[in-house]
Amino acid sequence: METIRRTKIADALSSTHFGTDINVKGWVRTHRSSKVVDFIALNDGSTINNIQIVVDPTKFADELLKQITTGACIGVTGKLVESQGQGQASEIQCEDIVVYGECGSDYPMQKKGQSFEYMRQHAHLRLRTNTFGAVMRIRHNMAIAIHQYFHEHGFFYFHTPLITASDAEGAGEMFQVTTKNLYDLKKDEEGKIIYTDDFFGKMTSLTVSGQLEGELGATALGQIYTFGPTFRAENSNTPRHLAEFWMIEPEVAFIDLNDLMDLEEDFIKYCVRWALEHCKDDLEFLNKMIDKTLIARLEGVVNENFVRLSYTEGIKILEEAVAKGRKFEFPISWGADLASEHERYLVEEHFKKPVIMTDYPKEIKAFYMKLNDDGKTVQGTDVLFPQIGEIIGGSIREENYDKLVAQIEERHIPMKDMWWYLDTRRYGSCPHGGFGLGFERLILFVTGMQNIRDVIPFPRTPKSAEF
């Protein structure tokens, strides 16, 4: 038989060229056999949907048919025909089968309904399951949506370094980068490690945020965004934290807090709308298998106006809830950082829609946020989402040199590391602001998955860097 070029299963399923010979390749989902007919469900990752291969078992050797087990990789040539069965437009009447890779009964992804915990231990193979296929295709589509949004709106994609000597968030949760011999560290009289002979001649780490360099870009190009890996050595073993995650950080010159909130809301709605439009099959699958309210929740976010309220108003609502008997694990009063349970109470129980909270006490926010006239609060904004809690953190930046230096000194941040950042406030300083969206938190929201470890191919968390 002459060789026919491979057709992707997504294309085969939507093709109406019935009667033509085609070739598909993929991994066997199921193989049901009987004396008169065999059905193979084949998937190649191009779509959540399998194509059905109809096989006349009398035409093929028993040995060959026995090799076609769940997980095996095969190629099939045959006639594309209109499907007799329900739920699919086309199927393939099999004429020829090639087995590329057999798959024994010890295949870890053999059974249906295995726990996500179990699948995490087999993250190298879980990608071949329906759920992870759907999540990864949606992840790809969200990345495209993000670039598309910013490109359409005149933002420039700006690359900030992953290796840095500054702690942008000032939380001290950084992974060090060094070529020093850890078995033989030279120290000075005070016992401090000497870094002058290290690769960069100073102590360096993996970045926790591209924001500080992003501000340099925005105060030159007007509006930029970053989209890259971010690293945090915080020991947070929660379903919302990763040690390595991806962050999107737009930074814009000449905006105020209202503009910033408009941008946050418009951007996130665009991404969710994109998912609804471009990821229909995968969302329908997840809606059926993972969370029956998923699509309704996504449509809700697209159609609703987000609530905008100050931290002080938010605390009032939470204190009233506590007075009425609502129990929280962590105490809450003015000055305290909101825990995820507080954020979710406001979003899921009180307002029942996304909330943009602003004007936080300066003590619980980073040094770069613009101080309000009250001297107590800063122009930070967090976007709080149902199921997720904080999905975006951002702020208007302190553009006044003296006020910024005062914040840096109050927090004992070493000034020698900050000279280049301060230069933006010394030379042509301008009002500006931006935010950071946690990419995996967006994917959590859009897929309805419950654990952030299940929306990135290979999660990095405390005590876990397998694969």
Strand order in the sheet with 223-231: 156-157, 223-231, 244-253, 432-438, 389-396, 377-385, 355-361, 307-310
In sequence order, what DSSP letters do the residues of 285-302 get, joined into one string? HHHHHT-TTHHHHHHHHH
Q: Which residues contact 318 (CB under 8 A, 6 or more apart)?
A: 328, 332, 338, 342, 345, 346
Hey, which bits of 133-222 come out as E strands? 156-157, 163-164, 176-177, 204-206
What is the total count of residues that contact ligand 4AD (CB under 6 A)?
23
Minimum Å gap between C-beta 209 and ligand 4AD is 4
Work out whether 434 is an interface residue with Mg ion (CB under 5 A). no
Work out whether 245 is an interface residue with ligand 4AD (CB under 6 A). yes
User: Scanning residues 326 to 355, which ones bind Mg ion (CB under 5 A)?
Assistant: none
Minimum Å gap between C-beta 205 and ligand 4AD is 14
Work out whether 441 is an interface residue with ligand 4AD (CB under 6 A). yes
Among 38, 167, 213, 249, which residue interacts with ligand 4AD (rule: CB under 6 A)?
249
Work out whether 209 is an interface residue with ligand 4AD (CB under 6 A). yes
Among 78, 314, 436, 448, which residue interacts with ligand 4AD (rule: CB under 6 A)?
436
Among 393, 394, 448, 459, which residue interacts with Mg ion (rule: CB under 5 A)?
393
Nearer to ligand 4AD, 50 or 211 (CB): 211
Tokens (6 digits) for 394: 């951002």
Minimum Å gap between C-beta 376 and ligand 4AD is 20
| Sign of the dihedral through C-alpha 288, 294, 48, 63 | negative
Closest among 408, 385, 409 to 397, alpha carbons compared: 408
Tokens (6 digits) for 224: 């930029």
In sequence order, what DSSP letters do the residues of 21-33 get, joined into one string? EEEEEEEEEEEEE
Amino acid in the structure at residue 172: G
Minimum Å gap between C-beta 169 and Mg ion is 8
User: Scanning residues 366 to 405, which ones bind ligand 4AD (CB under 6 A)?
Assistant: 390-395
Partner from ligand 4AD, Mg ion, none binding residue 394, C-beta < 5-8 Å depending on class: ligand 4AD
- DSSP letter at 389 equals E
For Mg ion, the binding residues (CB under 5 A) are: 393
For ligand 4AD, the binding residues (CB under 6 A) are: 168-169, 209, 211, 232, 234, 241-242, 245, 247, 249, 390-395, 434-436, 438, 440-441
